[in-house]
């Protein structure tokens, strides 16, 4: 090997390019770091090291490298794209929009980039602009399934259900995920009975939500379902419980509130990211990642109190979970949960919000069939939307 530092830097840089192209990003980072150490300030090295760190999702380390490279060579569309991705990862959506606009100005303009641009606008609440950007993405590729799905989602949230259904159907016809898209279609058309949501959809939803969950739900939406569910336990339930199970434990809001009344506390959630957050609270004796049906089917532990705060709205039909719980709960034990009320004439109803609602009669029939007495069922605010209370039903069953 040459003793010349510049020649060594060049060799390390070329190795970095080779491994970056091969998708071995940790190795590429090492080669680029070596090249930059040997030849400080080289624009091409900084740019590629920044791009590599974006691939590794180390956005805060990538951004200054990319900014420095672009300050010297501002016409590099690939660097602007990587910078936009880093800024999105850092939730700096205004900055990401500006970076993407530089990409467009440099001639790098695809359906995928326009959809990325629309995502940033939507995150800033600029919904009409986001819808327009998605339409521009479709001008590049009329069958771009991600764009059709995301645009359909904006229409759904805006209450424009016909437009939402048209987008979801086009995405389905274009090869999009059939399980997820049929679920979305059912929510806005009510033409198909989807008894439960796709597991992967729910897992991804809450993995993505985990970091901001407590702040958004409790501080912004005034969520209190977890607290009231425990505070409103009937007096006959007693002050303490030997074994408590927190179904759909999320970040541990229920667990933290019930801990003082539980000798042993377990939690289960389908989202690994949520369980990581719950683990950080250090209030659970045991935590499990998995679908609640699968965990209940494999555990042998008996429970004296089972909590499910805002969980059954993401389960759908409840026959299976009631059947499994009936084999895991002692005589005299309690099942406490919240639901939303289904419309008259419905038993289990998939709402446009993508949540399920359940009728009181359906819950009463399930309780009776599986050996529970319904001790209490009442409506009360669960959270707030624009300072208006959003009501749910708090249900308390006692095992016979």
The burial class, CB within 10 Å (0-12 / 13-18 / 19+), for 312 is buried
pLDDT of 127 above 70: yes
Name the 3-class secondary structure at 377.
strand
What percent of the chain shows pLDDT beyond 70? 99
Name the 3-class secondary structure at 336.
strand
Kind and range of the H or E run holding 340 = none
Report the alpha-carbon distance of residue 46 to residue 3 in Å, rounded: 23
* Backbone phi, psi, residue 341, to 5°: -80, 130
What superfamily would CATH give domain 5-189? Tetratricopeptide repeat domain (1.25.40.10)
CATH of 205-399 given 3.90.1200.10, 3.40.50.150, 3.40.50.2000, 3.10.20.30: 3.40.50.150
Report the alpha-carbon distance of residue 233 to residue 307 in Å, rounded: 10
Other C-beta atoms closer than 10 Å to the C-beta of 286 total 12
CA distances from 263 to 126, 237, 266, 283 (A): 49, 15, 10, 11
Q: Average pLDDT for residues 213-219, to the nearest whole number? A: 87
- Give first-to-last CA distance, the chain, whole Å: 80
Report the alpha-carbon distance of residue 380 to residue 341 in Å, rounded: 12
pLDDT of 88 above 90: yes
- pLDDT, one tens digit per residue, over 168-207 is 999 999 999 999 999 999 999 988 889 999 999 999 999 9
The pLDDT of residue 5: 87
The pLDDT of residue 142: 97
Residue 383: pLDDT band (50, 70, 90) is: confident
Tokens representing residue 353 in the block: 């919000």
Report the alpha-carbon distance of residue 77 to residue 258 in Å, rounded: 53
- pLDDT, one tens digit per residue, over 231-255 is 999 999 999 999 999 999 999 999 9
Query: 240: Cβ–Cβ under 8 A, 6 or more apart, which residues?
Result: 261, 262, 263
What is the maximal distance between C-alpha atoms in the chain? 83
Give the residue extent of every domain in the chain. 5-189, 205-399
Report the alpha-carbon distance of residue 19 to residue 373 in Å, rounded: 64
Residue 222: pLDDT band (50, 70, 90) is: confident
Report the alpha-carbon distance of residue 252 to residue 93 in Å, rounded: 29
Residue with token string 């009728």? 359
Report the alpha-carbon distance of residue 342 to residue 134 in Å, rounded: 33
**Of the candidates 151, 157, 191, which has an alpha carbon nearest to the alpha carbon of residue 171?**
151
The pLDDT of residue 1: 52
pLDDT of 391 above 90: no
Report the alpha-carbon distance of residue 288 to residue 274 in Å, rounded: 11
- pLDDT, one tens digit per residue, over 105-119 is 999 999 999 999 999
The pLDDT of residue 387: 76
Q: Establish whether domains 5-189 and 205-399 are of one fold.
A: no
CA distances from 384 to 158, 365, 380, 397 (A): 18, 30, 11, 26
Residue with token string 């949540």? 355
The pLDDT of residue 219: 82
The pLDDT of residue 2: 62
DSSP 213-250: HHIIIIIIT---HHHHHHHT--GGG-S-EEEEEEET-T
Rounded to 10 degrees, the C-alpha dihedral 250/256/262/268 comes to: 10
């Amino acid at each position: 090997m040459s003793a010349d530092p510049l020649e060594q830097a060049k060799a390390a840089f070329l190795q970095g390019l080779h491994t970056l192209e091969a998708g071995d990003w940790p190795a590429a980072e090492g080669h680029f770091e070596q090249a930059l150490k040997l030849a400080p300030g080289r624009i091409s090295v900084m740019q590629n090291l920044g791009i590599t760190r974006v691939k590794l999702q180390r956005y805060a380390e990538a951004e200054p490298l990319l900014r420095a490279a672009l300050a010297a060579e501002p016409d590099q569309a690939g660097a602007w794209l990587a910078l936009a991705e880093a800024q999105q990862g850092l939730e700096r959506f205004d900055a990401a929009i500006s970076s993407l606009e530089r990409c467009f100005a440099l001639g790098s303009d695809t359906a995928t980039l326009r959809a990325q641009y629309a995502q940033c606008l939507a995150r800033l609440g600029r919904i009409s602009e986001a819808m327009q950007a998605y339409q521009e993405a479709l001008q590049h590729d009329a069958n771009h399934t991600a764009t059709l799905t995301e645009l359909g989602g904006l229409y759904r949230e805006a209450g424009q259900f016909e437009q939402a259904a048209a987008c979801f159907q086009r995405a389905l016809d274009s090869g999009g995920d059939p399980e997820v898209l049929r679920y979305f279609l059912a929510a806005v058309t009510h033409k198909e009975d989807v008894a439960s949501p796709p597991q992967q959809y729910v897992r991804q939803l809450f993995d993505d939500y985990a970091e901001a969950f407590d702040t958004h739900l409790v501080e912004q939406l005034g969520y209190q379902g977890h607290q009231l569910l425990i505070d409103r336990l009937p007096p006959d339930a007693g002050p303490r419980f030997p074994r408590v199970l927190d179904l759909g434990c999320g970040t541990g809001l229920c667990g933290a509130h019930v801990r003082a009344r539980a000798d042993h506390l377990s939690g289960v959630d389908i989202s690994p990211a949520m369980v990581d957050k719950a683990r950080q609270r250090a209030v659970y004796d045991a935590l499990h990642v998995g679908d609640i049906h699968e965990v209940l089917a494999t555990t042998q532990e008996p429970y004296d109190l089972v909590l499910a705060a805002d969980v059954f709205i993401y389960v759908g039909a409840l026959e299976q979970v009631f059947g499994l719980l009936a084999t895991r709960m002692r005589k005299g034990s309690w099942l406490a949960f919240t639901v939303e009320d289904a419309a008259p004439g419905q038993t289990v109803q998939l709402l446009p919000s993508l949540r399920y609602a359940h009728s009181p009669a359906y819950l009463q029939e399930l309780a009776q069939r599986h050996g529970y007495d319904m001790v209490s069922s009442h409506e009360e605010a669960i959270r707030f939307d624009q300072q208006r209370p959003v009501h749910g039903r708090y249900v308390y069953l006692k095992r016979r």
